Amino acid sequence: MKDLIKRLTEAYGPSGAEEQIREIIRAEVEPYASEVTVDTLGNLVCKVKPLSPPEGAEPKRIMVAAHMDEIGVMVSYVDDKGFIRFSTVGGLNPYVLMGQKVVFANGTVGVFGAERIEDIKDLKFDKMFIDIGATSREEALAKVSIGDVAAMKREFSDLDNRVTCKAMDDRIGCAVIIEAMKRAKPQVHEVYWVFTVQEELGLRGARVGAYSVNPHVGIAVDVTGWGDTPECTPFNVVLGGGAAVKAKDSSLIAHPRLKRLMVDVAEREGIKYQLEVLERGGTDAGAMQLTREGVPAGTISIPCRYVHTPCEMVDIGDVEACVSLLAAVVDELASPSGGGIL
């Protein structure tokens, strides 16, 4: 599991430039899917057909989604000395970026710098630049172009029970889906395991993917915040507390029957879980819920410290709990009873 997480998190794939990470994921999931396609926006859609569809009826469609994009920056201007100005791609904090490294799709590496300021409170993105070691505009433009996107550059670190890297949001969700996909048992309903694009820009991939799949129920797998570091904002979710079953976030109030099913399955199977109410942020479930005439939707969340930094951290026990819970919930939904929802 750690090897998979390392390969996924270290891979390049900012929003709108997910080709490299998509191919890595595709190689992992193709043996377990009946059909693998890439839609117009770039979502990787993995369909698993039922073993025996319900007699006299069409199988229902279950959609499970995790986003494979990550936050990044885009080149907006290069000055005469070769320093690069940039626009953000997703939610970034300028204080977090100072001294950090980025990498472009072609392997070019740069370092964030800033103009001289009197007070750190004055640090804004328009005061910052990327230094790729160029000495002129021409030299810089030989390596990168206006509109090129860069991702954070940070290696995976194994801290025994916990691991840290950039892009845990949401490559750890992708890892959970890949492992759950291996464990889930095809039954009477179709399951679409979808790795979405451009979530960091407003759930764009999930909106397109859900419209195409037209699911009868949707589950997102994504990271959530933490409430267990010194003097942090009180929050019910902690690292080591197990899978988080979402009740609410900015994009979603979880469908009550689906949330209840997740809790019931966790308790029946002895899977460690905790309940989550997130005040800010959303997941692909928010887009799935509002598709067409509406879809019952919910989220299984992986507790993650330091979200949207180059050093996001998760607990391996929580990751395993999320895999077990997701596989068991999908088995319930894909069964003849449809988990009481389908």
Nearest to 263 by CA among 190, 334, 339, 315: 339
Quote the tokens at residue 133: 């070691």
Q: Is the dihedral of CA 298, 283, 291, 39 positive or negative?
A: negative
Nearest to 196 by CA among 166, 224, 221: 221
CA distance 243 to 232: 20
Nearest to 222 by CA among 330, 322, 315, 93: 322
CA distance 259 to 334: 16
CA distance 102 to 152: 4
Residues whose CB falls within 8 Å of the CB of residue 17, separated by 6 or more in sequence, listed in order: 72, 105, 149
Nearest to 222 by CA among 254, 190, 260: 254
DSSP 283: -
CA distance 289 to 12: 29
Long-range contacts of 107-111 (CB under 8 A, 24+ apart): 108/132, 108/143, 108/144, 108/150, 109/153, 110/84, 110/150
Catalytic residue status for 199: yes
Classify residue 58 as exposed, middle or buried by CB count within 10 Å of its CB (0-12, 13-18, 19+). exposed
Catalytic residue of the set 179, 190, 199, 332: 199
Q: What SS3 class is residue 186?
A: coil
Could you give the residue numbers annotated as active site? 199
